[in-house]
Every structure is written in structure tokens, then in C-alpha cells.
Amino acid sequence: MIAYHFPPLSGSSGIQRTLRFVQHLPSLGWQPLVLSASLLAYEKTSGDLLADVPTGTVVRRAFALDTARHLQIGGRYMAWMARPDRWISWKFDAIRQGLKLIGEFKPDAIWSTYPIATAHVIASALHGKTGIPWIADFRDPMAQEGYPTDPKTWKIFQQIEADATERARYCVFTAPGAARDYQHRYPDAADRMVVMENGYDEESFTFAAPPRDADGNQAKGPRPLVMLHSGIVYPSERDPTQFFEALGRLKSAGMLAPDDLRIRFRASVHDDILLKLAQDHGALDFIEVCPAIPYREALAEMMDVDALLVMQADNCNAQIPAKIYEYLRAGKPILGLTDPDGDTAGALHRAGLHDIARLDSADEIARLLPEFVGSCRRGRAALPHWPAVKQASRRERSMALAALLEQASLSRSVAANPN
């Protein structure tokens, strides 16, 4: 399993996908070998998830540098040194370490995961040298319209994805729209495109602190209703400008006051941008920005607040924020500011949640928000349907991956022994 995002790296929800597969696969007949990057490559680390790595798991770390931090001169670095990403230096020792792992343990499959594109570069090299079946976990689309913005990086992304779709036994995506896009883009590989969504870890919720109000979801007493956005607020993909515009309008019209609603942004990364936008639109009194907290504390907070907020722009219609599955498990009302035709809205709809307005429409948000707040206060807001929640557990996702690994290894056996 070739993954840059792995404990003790901190600050990315992307860690959860690989970590939970590593946790659950052994009970499903598969023993993970993790090939990750040296700790030097990580900008921020935390030990809060290290205990979740099963005892005895083989984790090898290949030498890697972060170009932006380690190879700059006078605050600048050469662009070619960060293509396809800032961790391309990981490639060289990772291939060497990967071959050693293969020689030592004789694995049946290779699995690599984006969004660090170098992971796929490493996997392709190892597959080419050994013939071991490769599963490329794209998660989200790579080369997109307007992303990456640097044309040379975009071209390299396109080359990496084309190589993966040609050589990998399966290409895995976390949203139906992403899989459809790639099936159209690479029709010869369409039957090898698989959807395997993200999920939540039940054990982590079990050990998280219980919610404050165990018997309901409405705010009690005179305090403001607390709605939480947990995680990064990307300035483009999760731009809250129209949300703040709607809040300012509702405040001016006397339809919603800061005493009614408090929006908490936890670990947004872009606190300064949020505060400036909120101030510009007269919504500063509605929001609070809070620092990152350990993973299980973040889950406990989701269960403790009155409602949850997900934001996803229409330029990400083929993506679903990983956090949404933890939101579903938290069992609280969810306000979705997203395109109703996108995959994020689809995930909410499948869970019985329909409080959705377009992120780029202040008019739609202003119409929906007072009604949503009122429903939460009266205890009448829709809650996630349990069957849909249960289906999204990491255990269920790991079972799907185990089945895919079985098929990949079987295809190799058939190729080696056609009779």
C-alpha cells in the first residue's frame, strides 16, 4: 500500500482512507504492507492516530523531501522540482524500498493512492518491474479543466492518469461522477473503473466522547444554535462568500440574528480569509474560527453540536468530501451548500437529507437557512437514515477492497496458469 498520507502525518482527512483499510483488511484475509514517506517530508505531525495502526503492521518509510520547505533558496524553488508534486523526491528511495518489500514478503497486489500523484508513479514503476497487479486509487479526478493551473504540471498529471488507466488492473474512485468522467475519457478501460466511496470508522465514534444532548438534536435554552463546519475551507472549492452574503442579508432584514445561530469553522486552515469575508458581508457576528483538535475530539464535536455544514462548489461535482460520511454517522441535521446535481448532493439525498442550496447562490441560501434553523430548534430537522449510514462504514468499504484485491490476484494467477 503506497500512501503518503499515513500517521503520524497531521492535518489531512485523507489519512483515514489508508489507515482504516490497514485496520480492517487483516480480518478479511489481507495483510497490508505500508510504503510511506519519511517523517521529514511531513510539515506537521501528531501521534493521536498512531495507536490505530495495528500492532505488527509493516510500515517502511522511504526518504522524501518537501521541495517547498527543503529545496528553496531565498524563498523560491525551481518549478520542475515540484512536478507532479512537492514530494517527487520520494520516488527514488520508494522504488528501492518497494522492491525490497516485494522481495521479502512476495505481495499479491500493489495499491497506490492519490492525491499525492507521486504514489502512482512509484506504483507504476514497481508494477512494471515485477508484474504484480496494481490497483490505482485515484479517489478524485487528477487532470481537470483548469487544474492543475500550471500547464506543465497538468500535462504530467494527464500522463500519470493515462499510464494508470492503461496498466492498472483497477482504477478506483470515491464518487460516481469521477468514475463516469474517466470512463468517458478512457473508454478502453471503462470496465476497470470502480467506485469505492470514503466512509467513517465506527470504532473511532465508539471511543469518542458522547454527544451533549443524547435525546435530541435541537438547541436548548436561549443559546444560539451551533452549526459546525469541520475541516479545510478551500477558497475556490468551498468558497463561503455567498453564504456570508446571505447571513448579512438575513441579519439586516431581522430574519436571523447572531443570538439565533453560531457557525463554527473548525480547522479551516484559511481563518484569515473567512474572517475577512464575514466582515465584508456583515456576518462576522455569526461565525467563530477554531483550531484543529485530535481526530476523536473532532468526532465528538460533530456529535455535540446542533447541526453540521458541508460546502462543495459545482466545480467539484464529481467529488464528495470525505468528512460527509463522518457527518452522517454523527446523526445530526446537515445543511448542504452544494450543486443539487452533484455527487455531494447525491450522497445526502441517499441518506434522506434534502436541505440543500447552491453554494454560489445567496438567494437560495437566504431562503433555506431560516427554515433549516427553525426546524433544528423544533427538533423536526431531517436526520440521516440509518441504513445509508451503516453502508458507509469503513468496514464495509474494506470488504469491497478485499473483494477487489481477490479479483486482481486471481487475474494474475489465471494469466500465469492459463490451463
What backbone phi and psi angles, to 5 degrees, belong to 357? -140, 155
Within-domain flag for 78: yes
Within-domain flag for 3: no
- Residue 310: predicted pLDDT: 98
Please check whether residues 310 and 299 belong to one and the same domain. Answer: yes
| Cα–Cα nearest to 33, from 106, 83, 135, 130 | 106
- Residue 268: predicted pLDDT: 95
- Residue 75: predicted pLDDT: 87
Question: Which string of b and e fits 383-410 if b means at least 16 CB within 10 Å?
Answer: bbeeebbebbbbbebbeebbebbeebbe
Please check whether residues 186 and 280 belong to one and the same domain. Answer: no
Please check whether residues 69 and 104 belong to one and the same domain. Answer: yes
Please check whether residues 248 and 382 belong to one and the same domain. Answer: yes
| 27, 55 Cβ separation under 8 angstroms | no
Q: Which stretches of 14-73 are assigned E, i.e. beta strand?
A: 33-37, 58-62
Task: Work out how many domains the chain is built from and give that number.
Answer: 2
Check whether the bond before 26 is cis (ω within 30° of 0): no
| Cα–Cα nearest to 204, from 325, 42, 90, 112 | 325
DSSP code string of 287-314: EEEE----HHHHHHHHHHSSEEEEEE-G
Please check whether residues 37 and 126 belong to one and the same domain. Answer: yes
Range(s) of the domain holding residue 362: 203-391
Please check whether residues 257 and 141 belong to one and the same domain. Answer: no
- Residue 215: predicted pLDDT: 45
Please check whether residues 223 and 337 belong to one and the same domain. Answer: yes
Within-domain flag for 36: yes
- Residue 219: predicted pLDDT: 46
Within-domain flag for 98: yes
Structure pTM?
A: 0.89
pLDDT tens for each residue of the chain, 419 residues long: 999 999 999 988 889 999 999 999 999 999 999 999 999 999 999 999 999 999 999 999 999 999 999 999 988 999 999 999 999 999 999 999 999 999 999 999 999 999 999 999 999 999 999 999 999 999 999 999 889 999 999 999 999 999 999 999 999 999 999 999 999 999 999 999 999 999 999 999 988 865 454 444 444 557 899 999 999 999 889 999 999 999 999 999 999 999 999 999 999 999 999 999 999 999 999 999 999 999 999 999 999 999 999 999 999 999 999 999 999 999 999 999 999 999 999 999 999 999 999 999 999 999 999 999 999 999 999 999 999 999 999 999 999 999 999 999 987 765 556 55
Within-domain flag for 62: yes
- Residue 198: predicted pLDDT: 96
207 Rama class: left (phi>0) / alpha (psi -120 to 50) / beta: alpha
Please check whether residues 107 and 182 belong to one and the same domain. Answer: yes
Give the cell for residue 337. 451548500
CA distance to 90, 134, 376, 397, 405, per residue, from 410 (Å): 30, 12, 51, 20, 8
Please check whether residues 275 and 162 belong to one and the same domain. Answer: no
Within-domain flag for 5: no
| 94, 122 Cβ separation under 8 angstroms | yes
Please check whether residues 330 and 364 belong to one and the same domain. Answer: yes
Please check whether residues 23 and 114 belong to one and the same domain. Answer: yes
Please check whether residues 40 and 59 belong to one and the same domain. Answer: yes
CATH number at residue 397: 3.40.50.2000
Within-domain flag for 373: yes
Within-domain flag for 2: no
- Residue 411: predicted pLDDT: 73
